[in-house]
Amino acid sequence: MVKVADSKAYMEAMLASDRPGSSEFHAFYEHRVGMICTDPRLMLMPWDDHLVHRGDGIFETMKFVGRKLYQLEPHMARMQRSCEAIYLTPPCSWDEIRELILEVARAGKRETGMVRVLLGRGPGGFGIYPSECPETSLYVVSYDLHPKSEKVYEEGVTAFKTSIPAKQSYLAAIKSIDYLPNVLMKREAVEKGYDFPFCFDRSGYLAEGATENVCMVDSTGRLIIPEFTNALAGTTLLRAVDLIKDEMSVTFRGISENELLEAREVIIVGTTGDAIPVVRFNGKPIHDVRPGPVAKRLRELLIRDLEETGIQL
């Protein structure tokens, strides 16, 4: 029979149990407790938080490099929009959340890393009604950043059209906890031997990657970006556009599967990798099968922008 334990015995057993990945977690905060902790063995969520068992919550992820946190305000703005979209009110002010993000990143005492913020409906029961939850939950964690190797930028990556369809437009615009389609996209990519999956909408237009945006440079040298109808408006992509718009023409419109194969460049843009060149799509070559100048330029601009505008931790 399974032992029935009191709180002391259970806590001792929990602290002694294996915690995969614990070496990558720096520091975390849970609003219910109200303290920052640096012991990853205690990084737990209530089972009855609707964020856990219903996917009823939102999140944001940002990075810091050289102890400079990048794009805090755009992430904060999108987090507010996502909360409004699902009728979620944070348990404290947005200014407090902003300061908590910085404090958790500092408490981890790392030069480089990621910060993830999760806002959930909160604990209160295993039903579906929001009314079960008396207070919204807030979790903030700092953890390791795994930057791409230089080989990725020098040789490029592969991508393919996943069988997983793009999200419905109203869900795609919310950075919600429900990332099951994204997980299935990534699983399929690994299974088929590709680096990145791209999903498409019902009309056959490119939407996004599993955790990144996608854009292309057409035959005339214009940067073409899918409209954000079935894709999340990425903070990194929007910042990249702002940085390069004076150097080249930028257009937002639908992109078909065939257009990707006719492009000069196909580029994956996201928080972790900045701008990654794609040299093969569905096993077929893109242009001369080499990373192009626009991908390189976007990466240069984003790296410099982090150094110049990142918030010092």
| pLDDT tens for each residue of 146-192 | 999 999 999 999 999 999 999 999 899 999 999 999 999 999 999 99
Q: What tens digit of pLDDT does each residue of 264-279 get?
A: 999 999 999 999 999 9
Per-residue confidence (pLDDT) for residue 310, from 0 to 100: 98
Q: Which CATH number fits domain 22-143: 3.30.300.30, 3.40.50.1240, 3.60.21.10, 3.30.470.10?
A: 3.30.470.10
Q: What tens digit of pLDDT does each residue of 182-218 get?
A: 999 999 999 999 999 999 999 999 999 999 999 999 9
Q: What tens digit of pLDDT does each residue of 102-128 get?
A: 999 999 999 999 999 999 999 999 999
Calpha distance 272→240 (Å, rounded): 14
- At CA 35, angle to CA 31 and CA 41, rounded to 5? 95
The CATH architecture to which 150-312 belongs is Alpha-Beta Barrel (3.20)
pTM: 0.95
Q: Residue 251 pairs with which residues in a beta bridge?
A: 224
Q: Describe the crossing of helices 235-244 and 293-309 by its angle, rounded to 10 degrees.
A: 100
Per-residue confidence (pLDDT) for residue 16, from 0 to 100: 92
Calpha distance 253→55 (Å, rounded): 31
Helix locations, 86-168, DSSP H: 94-107, 150-155
What would the two tokens of residue 258 be?
């065939």
Calpha distance 222→224 (Å, rounded): 6
For the chain, give the percent of residues with pLDDT over 70. 100
Annotated domain spans of the chain: 22-143, 150-312
